[in-house]
Every structure is written in structure tokens, then in C-alpha cells.
Amino acid sequence: MALNSVTGKSAVSPAEVSMLFARVAAGNGYAGKKVLAIFPDHTRSGPVPIMFRAFCDHIGPQAARLDFLIALGTHPAMSDAMIEDHFGITAAERTGKYGKHRIFNHAWDSPSENSQIGLLRKGEIERISQGLMSEEVPIRINKKVLEYDILAVCGPVFPHEVVGFSGGNKYLFPGIAESEIINFFHWLGALITNPKIIGTKNTPVREVVDLCAAMLKQPIHAFCYVVNKSDIHGLFAGESREAWSAAADLSSTLHIRYLDKPFNTVLSCAPKMYDDLWTAGKCMYKLEPVVADNGTLIIYAPHVEEISYTHGKVLDAIGYHTRDYFAKQMDLFAGVPRGVMAHATHVRGIGTFENGIEKPRITVVLSSKVPEERCKRIHLGYLDPASVRVSDYINKEDQGVLYVEKAGETLYKLKNPPEWQA
């Protein structure tokens, strides 16, 4: 599949998106084929309704079947109402105009819904991780993919804390994978650390993702879009790796902001699409590199009521800690999903654990509806959101204070990074 793209300094219009899909549909063998489109859930920004309609309008008429699978990773399943809002359709349209196109939630925690397609060998893992990990990992993925002739991943590309840049084959692994590869994938990223990975195009974790994708027999097409606020600035359609690579190059110019100096205080405001700390943690990941040593980052999320709707009980038990707190005493955490530990380390940030004493580099404070007692129990600071006057943080950069209105997508880095992020 040849790369097709549309980009512009101003927004790419829905009409331009439609024309690109028309070109792709005309020459890439969709006729008579069963096509499964894999889309992100509601925790990712982007023009999902536009993409959904373009698939249905251009690929749907040619395909023998066109269905959609929501790449949840380990996020909770979306309700019918959430799906309809996310895809921009009414309940009547879902059963009527678009009724022949089924929309499925991924079931990452249901063995009967997933099938093994291969195995990552011990030697391969040792090579990729440069000795950080040594094990074999079975590769299991939603078995629905085996029913289709072509897989088409569609979603945004942003800097990402685990893999470097999101998008492309990541919507397969971990997007529609089972828990073992998900946990492996995230723990590898945690061992390398967020500051060393995020915003880096080619990483060991991306290599794992692409190796897993290569175990699938079908062609994998990708429709990777790059958005800034609500506008599409680029759409790249082609073979999955090629389309992702082009989108990551554009994302690196739009979604990374380089600063001259770090800040003592950062107010990182979570958008409402992040409905728990599991997703709002991105407000830390994207800003950790510009918080000064011994500084404070506040995740301001007054709408958030829960740590994690899926993994809250586990996080209550283990708390949020630096990487070495877990890595140096893994025997204490036997049976804890490593993907959950990875999230905990990414939110808590860089630090040390020596002689039984943990020293995080910075203080991370949660300002949300999660009670103070619970924040203390999981080793996060607490700030009553009702006490926060956002105006106190705006335009104070010369005083060492940084305010980020919609955090979680733009990566902030230093022009001259210290050794722990280089």
C-alpha cells in the first residue's frame, strides 16, 4: 500500500479527508475483503466521527464486511451511549444507516476472547531490552482479527511515555492485546523510564510492538492523524509502519515544546476526557522533564473521582513509587500486574531507592475529588481543588511557575536536558 497523505499549515478539512479515503479505497484491494478497523477509545483526541464516516462511505461499499474494534488496552469497556457519542452517531443511525458495521469493545481480560499468534523468545527480549529483561512472552490478541482479511488501524499520533510516539501498530499491541504482553510492554518502558523514551521515535518498546504486529498474517494498513487542539494537521494512510513514521515526524514538530529552563511549580490541568488518574497521569508524563529538582507538579483534575476504574484496588495496595522501589524488591510484588506498576512509576517519576529509603526527584500532587486520606495512602500529595485559583499560576513563568491549560498531549522538554533524561 503506497503512502497517501494530506497536510497543511491550516486545518485539513473533512472534504480533504474524504478525498484521501477515496484515493486509498480505489487502489488497495478492499473489494470483496473483510476489513476490521481498529479505533481508539474516548481517552484519545481526534476526529473519530470524521474517520468513522470516511471508512463507511469509501471502504464500506467495497468491502464484503467492514466492522470496528475499539482499542481499549486495559481501559473499561465503553457503553452504547459512549460509543455513539464517540463515533458521532445516534442510536437510530447505529442500527439503521450504519447497522451493517458492527462496533466491538476489546476484551483484554477475557482469555476466551483472545488467541495466541506467536511468542517473543527469551534471547530476543534480552537483545531488545539490552539485558533489562529475560523471559518468554506469549503474544495473544483479540481473536476477532483472525476473521478478517485486512486490518486498518486508525488513530492519533502523539509523544507517548511507554513507546515514544503513540499510534500505528500500538493500536494492536497493547490496544487489542491480552494482559501478558500489555504488562511486559509497559514494564519494559518503565525500566527505561519515561523521560528517556517519551518523544523518541525509535525505541526498544516500539521494536516490540512491530515484532508482535509482524506475527499477524494479514496486511496492516494505518490511517494516522496528527491533531493540534481540534484541528487535523496531517493524515497519513499506508502500510502501518510507514504511515506511523510520517505521522510521528509531523507530531515531533507540533507536540514538543522546548524550554530554556525548568520550573519549580507546574499546574498541569487534565482535560475531561481523562476520567481517572490512570489516564490523567499523562499530565505528569508530558511535563516531568521540565520540573526542577525538588519541584512540585500538580495534576489539577477537579472532575476526577477515581484513581483507576480498572486497577484502583491494586494501586491502593501498592501505592505510587519510583521505578527502583519496585525493581529492587520485585519479590514483594509477585502477582502484581507489571503494567500497573509501570503506571505507578510513571506518575511518581524519577527517583532513587537506596538502603530502604525512597527519594523521588519531585513532589507529585493530585488535586481532584480523590480524598486526601487516599492520596496520602498511595504516596501522592493532596491539594483541595476548591482552593486552587488558576489565575495564580498564569503568566508566572518568570517566577518559576508553569501553567498548562490542557495537559497530556504536548510534551515539554528542556533544550539542554540533564543526564537522567538524555
Instruction: Kindly state whether residues 267 and 241 are assigned to the same domain.
Output: no
Q: Are residues 222 and 319 in the same domain?
A: no
State whether 241 and 289 are in the same domain. Answer: no
83 domain residue, yes or no: yes
CATH number at residue 239: 3.40.50.11440
Which residue type occupies 388?
V
Judgement on whether residues 278 and 144 belong to the same structural domain of the protein: no
The verdict on residue 420 lying in a domain is: no
pLDDT number for residue 254: 95
State pLDDT tens for residues 248-261: 999 999 999 999 99
The answer to whether the predicted template modeling score (pTM) of the entire model surpasses 0.85 is yes
Do residues 139 and 235 share a domain?
A: yes
133 and 270 inside one domain? no
What would the grid cell of residue 295 be? 519541584
161-179 pLDDT per residue, tens: 999 999 999 999 999 999 8
In a domain, 304, yes or no: yes
Asked whether residue 321 carries a pLDDT value surpassing 80, the answer given is yes
Tell me which amino acid residue 43 is. T
CB distance 95 to 87 below 8 Å? no
Average pLDDT over residues 279-296: 98
| Contact predicate 408/283, CB 8 Å | yes
Domain membership of residue 133 (yes or no) is yes
Residue 305 in grid coordinates: 473521582
Residue ending a domain, among 203, 232, 254, is 254
Is it the case that residue 319 has pLDDT exceeding 90? Answer: yes
Residue 275 confidence (pLDDT) above 90? yes
Question: Could you give the angle at which helices 179-192 and 338-348 cross, rounded to 10 degrees?
Answer: 30
Q: Does residue 419 lie within any of the structural domains?
A: no
In tens, the pLDDT along 110-145 reads: 999 999 999 999 999 999 999 999 999 999 999 999
Residue 43: band (very low, low, confident or very high) from pLDDT cuts 50, 70, 90: confident
**pLDDT tens, residue by residue, 79-114:** 999 999 999 999 999 999 999 999 999 998 899 999
The pLDDT of 184-190, averaged and rounded, is 96
Which range marks the domain in which residue 308 is found? 258-414
- Assign 55 a pLDDT band (cuts: 50, 70, 90): very high
Asked whether the predicted pLDDT for residue 296 surpasses 80, the reply is yes
Q: Is residue 395 part of a domain?
A: yes
Q: Which of 254, 269, 290 is where one domain is finished?
A: 254
Q: Which of 236, 254, 272 is the last residue of a domain?
A: 254
Share of the chain above pLDDT 90, in %: 93
Q: What is the CATH number of the domain that holds 312?
A: 3.90.226.30
**C-alpha to C-alpha distance for 328 and 332, rounded to whole angstroms:** 10
- Do 314 and 407 lie in one domain? The reply is yes
pLDDT at residue 404 tops 80 = yes
* Domain presence at residue 421: no
Cα 130 to Cα 124: distance, rounded to the nearest angstrom: 10
Domain-embedded: residue 15: yes
Residue 41 confidence (pLDDT) above 80: yes
- So what's the pLDDT on residue 226? 96
Check residue 2 and give its pLDDT. Answer: 86
Residues 262 and 229 in one domain: no
Looking at the 3D structure of the chain, how many domains does it have?
2
Assess whether 156 and 29 both reside in one domain: yes
Decide: 55 and 37 in contact? Cβ < 8 Å. Answer: yes
Cβ within 8 Å of residue 114, ≥6 positions away:
107, 108, 140, 141, 142, 143, 177, 178
Same domain flag for 215 and 267:
no
Contact 224, 242 (CB under 8 A): no
How would you classify the pairing of strands 150-156 and 220-228? parallel
Q: How confident is the model at residue 242 (pLDDT cuts 50, 70, 90)?
A: very high
270 and 193 assigned to the same domain: no
The answer on 281 and 139 residing in a single domain is no
250 touches 225 (CB < 8 A): no
What pLDDT score was predicted for residue 263?
98
